[in-house]
Amino acid sequence: MTKGLNYDQFDPELDQRRAYVRKKLMHVNQLADKESINKALSKLFADAGKNLFIETGIEFDYGFNIHIGDYFYANYHLTLLDTCPITIGNHCYFGPDVGLYTPVHPLDPEKRKADVELGKPITIGNNVWMGGHVTILPGVTLGDNVVVGAGSVVTKSFGDNVVLVGSPARVIKTVK
């Protein structure tokens, strides 16, 4: 699964991990103080740097595919569907209702009916800012110093120093 190969989403081991994470997130999303939230989430993620802070409402599948650098902030209702690795660099800030989705569902209806799933990793560089309601789709890599405007849907990868907006997102400005 984490390598992007076909997998069974109803595998008992995966079901067990998702249930464990849901239970933990019910507790985490009720916490009020930053230190308690950071400590609890850091135990669920593969790794998280210093000064992690995520407002209430975070949701993810497994946690073991989430890698977050130093100085990360996410506003309310962050969703990280981590079938494959999600890697977020240092000094990244996400607005409310941001979603990073690694699962890929087959276009072929017969494969969908057979519950065939796979995924593609998402990589976010350093010093990336995302406005509210941004969606990042499977396989996207964003470089350093990228700004993604509110409501954008990022369907492909972009390099460093750009401002992206729209659905699908496109470059509207290069920044130094």
Q: Kindly list the catalytic residues.
A: 105
Strands of 153-154's sheet in order across? 59-60, 79-81, 99-101, 135-136, 153-154
Q: What are phi and psi of 171, to 5 degrees?
A: -75, 130
Alpha-carbon distance of 121 to 168, in angstroms, equals 19
Exposure string for 144-153, b = 16+ CB within 10 A, e = fewer? ebbbbbebbb
What is residue 110's DSSP assignment? Answer: H
* Cβ proximity of 80 and 86 under 8 Å: yes
* Cβ proximity of 88 and 68 under 8 Å: yes
111 CB-near residues (< 8 Å, 6+ apart): none
